[in-house]
Amino acid sequence: MNIGFIGLGNMGGPMAANLAKAGHNVTGFDMADVSIEGVEMAASAAEAVTDQDVVITMLPNGAILRSVAAEIIPAMKRGAVFIDCSTVDVDSARAVAADAEAASLLLVDAPVSGGVGGAQAGTLTFMAGGSDAGFKKAEPLFEVMGQKAVHCGGPGAGQSAKICNNMILGATMIATCEAFALADKLGLDRQKMFDVVSTSSGYSWSMNAYCPAPGVGPQSPADNDYKPGFAAELMLKDLRLSQQAAASADADTPMGALAETLYARFVEEEGGKGRDFSAMLPRFEKRGRG
């Protein structure tokens, strides 16, 4: 396929490179001066998308997505597929989908899970929203860039699925870190704590696959001085998106709101920026009841 790719940062760059390695013709654009193996660089976003079968975007937030979409949608050919892999607010995803549909484009909102490592290895998971026709055309590219793609529903459904998932993740990681800190103060050995909880009703991905306690469970960022696999500031971004969506949908999400508050404090006041989101554990270790 002929593919335009807008946003070639830590995630978009490896994704575009994998598409080029698979034999697709990829033309890219980024505001930064970057070079991606196998990707021909264009002078503007509009130039990168002209006459392409598929356009993929990987952008930082909804405002930038709306701005880029306003520039590229008029330049895209009718019937092309517009795949947005950014993680943005649901309202922005739906607004861009409506503009794309009005221009006879097939838009798929497809945020990803798997981080930079998954982007490099081609093992991302895509949570896709949009029409059946759009998803069907995008699916072969998802197979190149990732290991799994789930069609979650209509426009905005991909974003909805991601922020709901990450709201659960943020809340469960906090609960897991709290429990380890409490166990320490009760004199309970961390390995024994893991052995019980990981095989009992406290089982969760945060405990079993990504344990925040160093030296316990499978290898995780906790075993690398909490250098990020998933940075705390990115978790904060997703929690804020979840609460923005909750406000828009009139949904009561007190645990999600509290998780947002705690990660905001951690990132903005307590030195958590640049650390893995599981570094909440050393944060709780240092704190008392008050």
The residues annotated with a catalytic role in the active site are 162
Handedness of CA 123, 124, 125, 129 (dihedral sign): negative
Handedness of CA 35, 41, 45, 51 (dihedral sign): negative
Rounded-to-integer distance, Cα 287 and Cα 142, Å: 44
Q: Are strands 112-113 and 124-130 parallel, antiparallel or unpaired?
A: antiparallel
Rounded-to-integer distance, Cα 171 and Cα 176, Å: 9
Rounded-to-integer distance, Cα 38 and Cα 18, Å: 9
The neighbouring-strand residues paired with 2 are 25
Q: Are 3 and 50 in contact (CB under 8 A)?
A: no
Instruction: Give the H/E segment covering residue 115.
Output: helix 115-121
The DSSP call for residue 231 is B
- Token code pair at residue 158: 């991909």
The DSSP call for residue 134 is H
